Structures are given as C-alpha cells and as structure tokens.
Chains A and B, each alone.
Chain A
Amino acid sequence: MEPHRPGLTTRRARLPLVVGLGALPVGFVTVFFGYPLLKVVIRGAESRAWTKLLSDPSLRRIIWFTLWQAMVSAALTIAFGLGPAFVFARRSFRGRRQLLTLVTVPFVLPTVVSGVGLLALLPESLHRTVWAVLAAHVWVNLALVVRGVGAAWDRIDPDLESAAATLGASRRQTLRHVTLPLLRPAIVSAGSLVFLFCFTSFGIIRLLGGPAHRSIEVEIWRRATQSFDLPVATALSVAQLIVVLAILVRWSRSTSVAQRSGRSDAAGSTWATRLVVGVLALVVVLPIGAIVARSLHPSPGRWSLAAWRALMPSPAVSGRPAMVPHPLATLVSSMEIAATAALLAVALGTLAALAVVRARTRGRSLETGLTLPLGASAVTVGLGLIISFDRGWYDWRAAWVMIPIGQAVVAMPVVLRIVVPVIRSIPADLRHAAGVLGASPARVIVAIDLAIARRAIGAAAGFAAAISLGEFGATSLLTRTGSPTAPIAIARLLGRPSTFNLAEACALATLLAALVVIVLTIVDRWREAEHATF
C-alpha cells in the first residue's frame, strides 16, 4: 500500500526538518553501532582471513548451514503462524488477548531459559539435531508472524472476500486470488524478520543444535572469544552484515496499517478455531510449564518450594555463595536497565520514525540503515564498544549506562518498525490543514504525529522494555559488576554443579517470564485498537 504523502512542503523545505529529526538517532546508531563495528573490523582486518573465508570448507559449511536453516525456519514459522494469524484476526474467542500476549513471551525469554523448557519437552532422539533448532526457532519467532500477518489479515476488507464468493469463487480460489495476494507484503515482511533473527541465532543453535551445527554467530563468538582469531571473526561479521543488508533492502519493510475501522469477527467459534487455539496454547505454554516444574524440584524426585524460598527476602539457604546478588535484586536491576533502555529506544526511535516518514522515498534507506543493528553480531559490536569507549572521559567500559545503550541499539529498530507505519498512515491533509492554520512544523509534530501515534509509541516502549528484560548477548559482554540483570544471574546460577542451582535458576526464570507477561499485557491493552505490524 502506498504511503500517504505527509504535508505539501517542497523537498527543500523538508530537508532541515528531516535532518533535525534524524540527527539524534542517526548519531546514536553511528556512535554506538557503526563506529565500534568499524573499529573492531579494522583491528581484525587481515586479507588471509578473507582468503580463508572463501576457501576453508568448514567455514563454507557454516555459512551455508546458517543460510538454509534461517530460510527453512522462516518458511516453517510462516506455515505454522498463518492459521493462528487468521484466527486472531477473524475470530473472537475467550482469552484471545491473553493468548496473544503469551505467544510473544518466547520471543523475549532468554535462551538459557527457553532451552531448559524445550529440551525437557523435545524427545531425546531430537536433541542436538537440526529439527530441534528448527522447532525452537518456530517457537521463539511465532509471535512475529501471528502479530504481523494477523494485523494485516484484520485490515483486509471482508467485503472483498464476500464479493469474490458472490461472483462464484470457491473458498480456495478466494484465498488464492484475493486474500493471499493482499497478505503478501505482511507475510514477506514477517518472514524476512524471522529470517534475520534465525540468521543471527546464537543461544538456540548452541544449546539445541550442539557442536555439529554451528551458525555464523556461534563461529564469530568462538573465534573472537575462545581462540584468539579476531581476523576470521570480523571477516565473518562483515559477511553476515552483507546478507542482512541485502535482506533489509530487498524485503524487510514495515507495512502500512489500519485502513478500516472496527473488527468484523465471524461470529462464534468453530471446531477449527478451537483446534488452532488449543494447539497454539499448548505449544506456547508447555515449555514454560516445564520450567516452572523444574523450579519445584530442587532435589530430584521430590516436590519442594525450597528454590522459591531461596528467592525470598531472607533466604532459608545458609551460606549460599554470593556469586550473584540476591535474585530479587537482579530483577530490580533488570527493570532499571529495561526502563532506561526503553526510554532511550523510544525517544530515538520516535524521532527516527518522524524523520523516515518526512524523508518520503529516501526514508527507506534511512529506515534500512537504522534497522541494521538488528542483524549484526552482538559479540562483534560488544567487542567494538570495549575498544571504542576506553579512554579519559569516555572510558565507559565499566559504566552501567553501556548496558542500556547496548540494548537500546537493538531495541530502537523495533520501535521504528512499530511507529513508522502509524505515522505514515496519517493523511497529509491533517498536517497541511494545521500548517494552513499557522502551526509551526514542531507544533504539527506534537499536535498531530505524536498525538495520533502515542498509543503505538507506548506499545513500542513496552516492547523495547520486554526485549531489554530478556537480552543476553550484548549484556553479557558489557556487564562488569556484581549487580547483573536476571538473565545474566540465571546463567551464573547455572555455573555451579547442583540441582538446587538449576531449580533456583528456573524459579528466577519464572519470575522473569511473569514480569515479561505483565509488560506485554500492558502493551497489548494499548495496542488493541492499533493493529500495528511488528
């Protein structure tokens, strides 16, 4: 769908406004993403690394595996997500909103946690196979398809389908010739996002794929942190980024939103709806249930609340080593970091969205550039940050603020994808009318753009916070102190050989998941009328 043209201003008049709005976000991404990445790539630059990349059969195998598993994961996620997307868009059923929230939980849960749940459920024979990786990727990314395609399905006018039926088209013909073509942009957009996340997948591949299945990101991590091989690691990072850029330029665009008002649910729920809803609920809830069950088994074969007691303010466990601060304190720490990261991501992401829409056709490249961090290697950027902010007044290596900054770099593209379509959907007439009535460009932004998009902005803030709560990769490289976030604390609890530690880690993970559910519930309440596409 073509974007509406904002304002009637000429290109020359728009330029200062675009530059003014875009300066901060572009500066932020340049300083905290582009520059560090460039610096570490220059540090690692060696031509032999590129020769090796092109000639070493094991590296070629890794690149090939990463590509095809990401493609298959994306295809499977779409295949499994279309049914639920339809049901969410066209059927009303009890617990619809709650289920939509739950579907999103796996997407933001840290892998250390998801892994425990998934391994408990997948049959032993599938462990460390490519099937386990694909299943996990579908489980984690299902929300992208259900939400993205569901929103698009919701805004297809049912009259079109009725018209097709009246003209004698069968249901299959209607689906093939009317519905699917209209859904195509949303499917492509969601699919390419899933591809991006699976292409840079790290924790799931390590945990569920085992040593035989290495992704580019795992290999970058291994060479950069375990085997003194920065040159090949940075060469791989660059290769990875090239693929990501190609995907972003070609396919991954935020689609436009909400052209019609109101929902037109088909009344009642059929057995098919019940089946889809039931299966979806089971698939999402079971692994989370497995985590809760583990938290109740501090010693094998016995149910006990001991691990939960250990989370209480005065733990019953005597002499637990202070390897992590009190688990509840890590949740507080997580929330402080998430709030800061969300604030940063939303402020910058909204400015960027305003600039993207006002830059019109050129906004596409701005959007692509600002989305790039979503597909970059967290390890490489993390190392880059360490060697970029390392001296004098900008020696921030041990600074707390680097953690929310690192997370905001990843969360900002998400904010952008939520807010841009909403702002793009504002009819040009509104801004024009405001201009005619004497409103300055700043006043137009506040009174029209921000006022209309404020629910989307609120929802984006929630998403950014949820992403920050579960973020592990960048955070683990930037954390220095004794007050880690909950995902880091969970990983550290799993560093000691005791079934009790596992139970305590699972109890903390349950609390983290609950926190994420709360945040997402608030988000979805705000978004109910919005039909945004992320």
Chain B
Amino acid sequence: MKLIQGPAPRRPWPLLAVGCVIALAAACSSSGTTAPEASATTAAGPASTTVEAVVTGPDTTVDAVVPPTTEPATTVAPGPNGSVTLLTYDAFVAPEALQAFTAATGISVNVALAGDTGTMVNKALLTKGNPEGDVMWGIDNTLLSRAVDDGLFEPYQPADLAAVNPELTALVPGGEVTPVDTGDVCVNYDIAWFDDNGIAPPTDLAALTSPEYNKLLVVENPATSSPGLAFLMATVAAFPSGEWESYWTNLVANGALVVDSWDAAYFNEFTAGGGGGSRPLVVSYASSPPYPMLYGDPKPAAPPTANIDTTCFRQVEFAGVLAGTKHAPAARALVDFLITDQFQSELPESNFVYPARTGVALPQVFQQYGKPAPQPFTIAPDVIAAERDGWIEQWNLIAQA
C-alpha cells in the first residue's frame, strides 16, 4: 500500500512556466543586466556616493557594435567623451578625485574589481588581447616582470612622468607601465602588549629570532599572500645569499607562526586585531597604524599599534594601459590623471599607500604614525621574476620541516 504525501492533484501550477520564461529572459539578455546594481546603489545612501557616482554600466558609446537593446535602462549615462574601465584589486577605494577627471575630460570612469592583486594579474594574462578593462591599477613589483614580458601592457609614458620619483620610474625602463604608489610591508607591534609585559619591541629583523620574542610573531604564507611574499623578500634582501634560509630556520624555531592570509594573521592571531589573537607582532603595512585614527568609532587618541621601520619591504604599484583596449586615448588620459598632484594626494587616506609623485605632502596622521620606511628593502623586478618560485619552494621546505 503506497500512500501519497501532500495534497491531491488540483490545478495547474502556471508559476513555474512563468518562472522558466523569466529565467530564460534573464539568461539571454547579455550586458543589459546592471539594473539591479543601480537599484542597490540608490539604496546605499550617502555613504557610497564616492564610488558609485562615477560608476557607469558597460561601455557602449565609443564602441558602437553593441546593439542598443542591450543597454541597461537605469545606467548612469557615460560622459560626452565615453567611458573607460579601471581594472583594479578588491581593496582599491576610488578617490573622489576621479570625479574631477570626468568633469575635466568628459570621460566617465568605471571601476571594475578583479580580486586580489595576484588574481587580477593572472586573469589579465588569461584574457590578454581582450582585456576586462582599459587601464590596470595596482600590479606590483613582485608580479610586474612576468606581465610585461608577456606583453600585457601597451607601452605609454605620461607627459608628466618626470614628476614621479625617478627611483620608481627606473624600474620600468621600457615605459610599459607607470609607477603610481608605494606601500611598505613591515612588522607591526601591539604597543599595549609590550608595555604591559615590560618587554621592549624588537628593533630589526635579526631581533625576531631572539628567545625574548619566542612565539610572538605571526607572518603570512608567501605562497598565498602578497604581504607574506613581501616579508620573505625583505629577508632575502636583508641577508646575503644562503643566510636568509638559516634566518628562517631560526625564525620558525623561535615559534614564528605562519598563516595563509593577511586577514587571518591580523584578525585571528594578532593581539590588537580584535579577534582575540595571542601574537603581538604581525607582518602588515607601515600604513596600518594610522587606519583606526581615520576610521572607526570611537577613534582612539593614539594608534594601538606601531610599525618597525627597519623590517620593511617596499612594494611599488603600477598602472598601465592594457593591450587590446578599444579606448586607448581615454585610457591614456586616465593614466595621465593618475599621477596628477590632485589624485596622488588623496591616495594615503583612501588607499593607505604613499604617492609615487615627488613633493606630494603626506597627511598629518601619516607623518605622525605611518611614515614610509626611510631605508626599505628592495629587489629589482626582473630578479624577483626569475627567483620568486625558487624562493617560495625553499621557504616551503624550511617552514614545513
């Protein structure tokens, strides 16, 4: 005897058929689907006006092949001179200055986020020649050589390039990309923890292996994290060949903890990250201490963390016109704008990086608590490209031993 669950068959269920039709329609309309974003944007309120005001839908004006039917109804209209897509990493916060660019040139800027820096560059190599944007912001010196050698960028040197720190422009003699900012990856410490425990914070890389700092440091895995890789390179640059390996052996023996990502290190393991961690030393950025001074509720009187500026590796970020762009003139105009004084001066407070342009004043809070390192470690991009995988492999052997 089989009994049927549920009510007896009654009447047709037309909803499903309608659902199918709607679903199909949704699947078939191509780029004409930014409407929900636009509605979400309006719901976002005043907090989000900086980014969204300049975001437009897919580019349809300059490139007239797209049939008009696919144009989203509620998209902000591109400026009179079209729009350009700035492809960048997730953490990028568009400075308000971008609006000035649109006002001056009539070109609107669409910011497209592409994952972390590594993902962005790997995806760009996969889509080479048919890029997802016109200008890439944020490829750094640890990834640059490979991308340049692969012809990812269309060489372009802005007229005002001389205003950029010559040490940085020297990194790209071919002019494929333009240096736009720098960031220093350094060991940060929890000020209160060291005060409470009556221990002086370490003063350099070598000190981190001393028993005094046993089990106090958390670092990121260089194979999966960009600050982790930068810290590994700091040690490679700091110690002569053959000695950085033994440094790491000592560091691991001294209880240094390795985790997979910056957020895991900062929020789960660092004592000042708020996640109940137990390590008062973390690999982060020279610009991390000022962050709570600018954003947070309540804002502290002084930063809870500080930076050890003898442990820093300098990351240099570049912007470049992606090869295969259909909007080359607009893309070049945007690169010109990215190194203007106006744009560069907004970078510290929006993105916590330092301007690449010389003579741009740092905001007070950065001068006080988050200055760039006076003598950071550096490695030439081509050396990084050649040695990177080897370093990571050796590091793996040491860290997992």
Residues of A that sit less than 8 Å from B by CB: 4, 24, 28, 43, 58, 115-116, 119-120, 124, 127-128, 206-207, 210-212, 218, 222, 224-228, 230, 257-261, 294, 297-300, 306-307, 309-310, 313-317, 319-326, 328-330, 332-333, 336-337, 340, 343-344, 346-348, 350-351, 383, 386-387, 390-401, 404-405, 425-427, 430, 443, 446-448, 450-455, 457, 476-477, 479-483, 491-492, 494-503, 529-531
Contact present for A325 and B91 (CB under 8 Å): no
Q: How large is the interface on B (under 10, 10 to 19, 20 to 34, 35 or more residues)?
A: 35 or more
- A497 and B291 in contact (CB under 8 A), knowing A300-B272, A325-B41, A326-B48? yes
| The residue from A260, A300, A322, A401 contacting B47, defined by CB atoms under 8 A apart | A322
Contact present for A399 and B31 (CB under 8 Å): yes
- A211 and B51 in contact (CB under 8 A), knowing A261-B5, A336-B36? no
CB-nearest residue of chain B to A455: B6
Contact present for A497 and B284 (CB under 8 Å): yes
* Residues of chain B lying within 8 A (CB to CB) of residue A314: 45-46
How distant is B308 from chain A, measured CB to nearest CB, in Å? 15
In the bound assembly, the distance between CA atoms of A222 and B294 in angstroms comes to: 33
| The residue from A394, A399, A529 contacting B5, defined by CB atoms under 8 A apart | A529
Contact present for A399 and B58 (CB under 8 Å): yes
* Residues of chain B lying within 8 A (CB to CB) of residue A391: 130
* Residues B219-274 near A (CB distance < 8 A): 221, 223-224, 257-264, 266-268, 272-274
In the bound assembly, the distance between CA atoms of A207 and B298 in angstroms comes to: 29
| The residue from A127, A299, A343 contacting B22, defined by CB atoms under 8 A apart | A343
CB-nearest residue of chain B to A497: B288
In the bound assembly, the distance between CA atoms of A527 and B146 in angstroms comes to: 54
In the bound assembly, the distance between CA atoms of A323 and B47 in angstroms comes to: 10
CB-nearest residue of chain B to A206: B260
Contact present for B298 and A299 (CB under 8 Å): yes
Give 22 A-B contacts (CB < 8 Å), ordered by A residue: A211-B400, A226-B223, A228-B125, A294-B275, A322-B52, A326-B43, A336-B36, A343-B22, A343-B26, A344-B23, A344-B27, A348-B23, A390-B130, A398-B58, A398-B132, A448-B9, A457-B16, A480-B112, A481-B34, A481-B111, A492-B91, A497-B288
* Residues of chain B lying within 8 A (CB to CB) of residue A483: 37, 40-41, 44, 52
Contact present for A387 and B44 (CB under 8 Å): no
How distant is A215 from chain B, measured CB to nearest CB, in Å? 12
CB-nearest residue of chain A to B278: A124
| The residue from A225, A448, A482 contacting B119, defined by CB atoms under 8 A apart | A225
| The residue from A116, A323, A404, A481 contacting B275, defined by CB atoms under 8 A apart | A116
Residues of B that sit less than 8 Å from A by CB: 2-13, 16, 19-20, 22-24, 26-27, 29-31, 33-37, 39-41, 43-52, 55, 58, 65-67, 70, 85, 90-91, 93-94, 111-116, 118-119, 122-123, 125-127, 130, 132, 146, 188, 221, 223-224, 257-264, 266-268, 272-276, 278, 284-285, 288, 291-292, 294-298, 300, 305, 350, 352, 388-389, 392, 396, 399-400
* Residues of chain B lying within 8 A (CB to CB) of residue A480: 112-114, 132
How distant is B318 from chain A, measured CB to nearest CB, in Å? 17
| The residue from B67, B119, B274 contacting A393, defined by CB atoms under 8 A apart | B67
Contact present for A498 and B44 (CB under 8 Å): no
Closest 4 pairs between A and B when the two form their complex, measured CB to CB:
A499-B274, A329-B44, A500-B296, A325-B48
* Residues of chain B lying within 8 A (CB to CB) of residue A348: 23
CB-nearest residue of chain A to B290: A497
In the bound assembly, the distance between CA atoms of A105 and B123 in angstroms comes to: 33
In the bound assembly, the distance between CA atoms of A47 and B16 in angstroms comes to: 47
How distant is B77 from chain A, measured CB to nearest CB, in Å? 17
- A329 and B296 in contact (CB under 8 A), knowing A207-B260, A386-B126? no
- A325 and B47 in contact (CB under 8 A), knowing A228-B122, A502-B273? yes
